[in-house]
Structure 1
Amino acid sequence: MKTKARASAQLRVESSVPHIQAEIERLIANGEIDAGERVKEAVIAQLLGVSRGPVREACRLLERVGLLKSVMNKGFYVRSLSAKEALDLYDLRRNLFGMAGRLAAPRIDDLKIQGLEQVYNAMNEAISENDTVRFYNLNTDFHQQVVEYADNYRLTEIWPTLESELQLFRRQGLYTVASMQNSNREHRVILDALASGNPELAQRATEQHIAEGKVRLLRNING
Structure 2
Amino acid sequence: MEKLEATRSAPTAVNLQRQHSLATQVRREIERMIEAGELVSGDWINEALIASQLNVSRGTVREGCRSLQETGLVHVIVNRGAFVREVDAKEAAELYDLRAALFALAGRTLAGKITKTQITALTKMVSKMDKLAGTGDTEGYYRENRLFHDSLLEYAGNARLTEQYQSYARELQLFLRKALMKPGRMAESNEEHRQIVELLASRDAAGAASLMEQVVLNVKARLFGDS
Shared fold, TM over 0.5: yes
- Runs of at least 5 residues in structure 2 that lack an aligned partner in the other structure: 1-6
Does residue 157 (structure 1) correspond to residue 168 (structure 2)? The answer is no
Does residue 20 (structure 1) correspond to residue 26 (structure 2)? The answer is yes
CA deviation digits over 1:85-113, x for unaligned, max 9?
A: 11111111111110110001112212223
Identity in percent: 40
The equivalent of 2:4 in structure 1 is none
1:108 partner SS: coil
1:68-147 mapped onto 2 (5 Å cutoff)? 68-128=74-134, 130-147=136-153
The equivalent of 2:36 in structure 1 is 30
Q: 1:102 to 1:43 in 2, by over 3 A?
A: same
User: After alignment, is 119-128 or 33-42 more displaced?
Assistant: 119-128
- Which of these two proteins has the greater Rg computed from alpha carbons? 2
User: Structure 1-normalised TM-score?
Assistant: 0.86
2:191 pairs with one of 185, 200, 208: 185
The equivalent of 2:202 in structure 1 is 196
- Partners in 1 of 2:174 and 2:10 — Cα distance? 41
Deviation at 1:114, TM superposition (A): 3.3
Q: 1:138 to 1:14 in 2, by over 3 A?
A: farther
1:66 pairs with one of 69, 72, 81: 72
1:206 pairs with one of 199, 212, 225: 212
User: Structure 2-normalised TM-score?
Assistant: 0.85
1:211-222 mapped onto 2 (5 Å cutoff)? 211-219=217-225
Aligned length: 221
Does residue 52 (structure 1) correspond to residue 58 (structure 2)? The answer is yes
CA deviation digits over 1:8-48, x for unaligned, max 9?
A: 22222222333322221111111111211111122222222
Alpha carbons 2:139, 2:180 under 8 Å: kept = no
Q: 1:22 to 1:196 in 2, by over 3 A?
A: farther
